């Protein structure tokens, strides 16, 4: 159980008036809770949460830079081993998001505008979770399970060919030759044994077009053709990486997708 006098929370909300209102309400209803930071974009959420390790994260679902869901996934992947994952309270103006997607993964969710009465119930729920939570990583396990369930479904007719622009030419790449796809800034790097090519799309758009029996997402930024996986190795810290046939680099496997490499 966490000492209530040492509890620390981080607020992630891109609307300053709402962030200030939430902070004031928390200070009024739960004075022992220390608000250590308030950030206004998804990238700052990840950076500050990893740096400051709060016990509770009030996370707006729609934020610039990264959505609340994207920030939660990155935190699940990057969170240090053997440290309790923060309890997440999703904050949203859209009821359907919270109810359909997050009720199992989040400690709670609240709808904007947040009333004192509703926030009081959230506080009571958080305090109960903190008292009962003997396993510090239960919140992380719940989040990882929910993130897996939310992966996009594959198309009935998957892609058979990738068309990549190379100068003034279009390179035609049979899908079976692709070893892996890797997200870069606004592009995806398509890696084969012979060359690398950039295509302008996102992994979120590409993934449903791939045959899920052949291509596995192993990290939020990487999809690999499992036929090229030679070896999965776990290091001393528990992190998994892949050795691929015909390539010298290793690919990281995040916690969210580590279940793909459990022993049969």
CATH number for the domain harbouring residue 64: 3.40.50.2300
pLDDT at 32: 95
Residue with tokens 């003034």: 168
Q: Which of 240, 260, 237 is nearest to 251 (CA)?
A: 240
Does residue 193 form part of some domain?
yes
Q: Are 179 and 192 in contact (CB under 8 A)?
A: yes
pLDDT at 98: 56
pLDDT at 118: 93
Shared domain for 214 and 192, answered yes or no, is yes
Residue with tokens 């046939």: 245
Shared domain for 140 and 24, answered yes or no, is yes
Shared domain for 145 and 20, answered yes or no, is yes
Structural domain of residue 37, as residue ranges? Answer: 8-150
Q: Which of 87, 42, 85 is nearest to 220 (CA)?
A: 42
pLDDT at 262: 81
Does residue 183 form part of some domain?
yes
- Average pLDDT (89-104) is 67
Domain final residue, candidates 99, 126, 150: 150
pLDDT at 154: 63
Domain final residue, candidates 150, 181, 208: 150
Shared domain for 23 and 138, answered yes or no, is yes
Residue 103 reports pLDDT greater than 60: no
Residue 173 reports pLDDT greater than 60: yes
pLDDT at 23: 96
- Average pLDDT (144-151) is 70
pLDDT at 3: 59
pLDDT tens-digit readout, 24-82: 999 999 999 999 999 999 999 999 999 999 999 999 988 998 888 889 888 988 888 77
pLDDT tens-digit readout, 124-135: 999 988 887 655
Does residue 2 form part of some domain?
no
- Average pLDDT (87-107) is 69
Shared domain for 188 and 246, answered yes or no, is yes
- Average pLDDT (240-255) is 93
pLDDT at 223: 96
Long-range CB contacts (within 8 A, 24+) of 162-168: 162/190, 162/197, 162/199, 163/199, 164/190, 164/197, 164/198, 164/199, 165/198, 165/199, 165/200, 166/197
Average pLDDT value over all residues in the chain: 87
pLDDT at 249: 95
Domain count within the chain: 2
Shared domain for 201 and 127, answered yes or no, is no
Does residue 179 form part of some domain?
yes
Shared domain for 120 and 176, answered yes or no, is no
Q: What percent of the chain has pLDDT above 70?
A: 88
Does residue 94 form part of some domain?
yes
CA distance 195 to 210: 20
Shared domain for 178 and 119, answered yes or no, is no
Domain final residue, candidates 117, 150, 183: 150
pLDDT at 153: 64
Q: How many Cβ atoms sit within 10 Å of the Cβ of residue 175?
A: 17
CATH number for the domain harbouring residue 221: 2.40.50.1020
């Amino acid at each position: 159980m966490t000492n209530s006098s040492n509890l620390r929370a981080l607020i992630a909300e891109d609307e300053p008036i709402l962030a200030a209102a939430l902070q004031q309400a928390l200070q009024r209803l739960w004075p022992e809770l220390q608000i250590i930071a308030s950030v206004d974009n998804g990238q700052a959420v990840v950076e500050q949460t990893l740096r400051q390790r709060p016990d509770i994260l009030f996370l707006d679902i729609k934020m610039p830079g990264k959505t609340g869901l994207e920030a939660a996934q990155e935190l699940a992947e990057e969170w240090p081993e053997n440290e309790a994952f923060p309890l997440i309270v999703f904050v949203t103006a859209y009821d359907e998001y919270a109810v359909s997607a997050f009720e199992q993964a989040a400690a709670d969710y609240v709808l904007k505008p947040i009333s004192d009465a509703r926030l009081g119930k959230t506080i009571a729920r958080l305090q109960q979770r903190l008292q009962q939570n003997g396993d510090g990583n239960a919140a992380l396990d719940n989040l990882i399970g929910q993130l897996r369930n939310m992966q996009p479904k594959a198309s009935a007719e998957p892609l058979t060919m990738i068309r990549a622009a190379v100068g003034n030419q279009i390179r035609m790449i049979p899908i079976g030759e692709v070893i892996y796809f890797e997200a870069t800034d606004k592009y995806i790097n398509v890696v084969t044994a012979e060359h690398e090519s950039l295509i302008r799309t996102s992994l979120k758009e590409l993934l449903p077009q791939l045959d899920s029996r052949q291509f596995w997402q192993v990290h939020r930024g990487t999809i690999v053709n499992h036929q090229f996986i030679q070896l999965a190795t776990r290091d001393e810290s528990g992190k998994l990486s892949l050795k691929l046939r015909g390539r010298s680099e290793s690919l990281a496997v995040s916690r969210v997708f580590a279940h793909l490499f459990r022993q049969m």
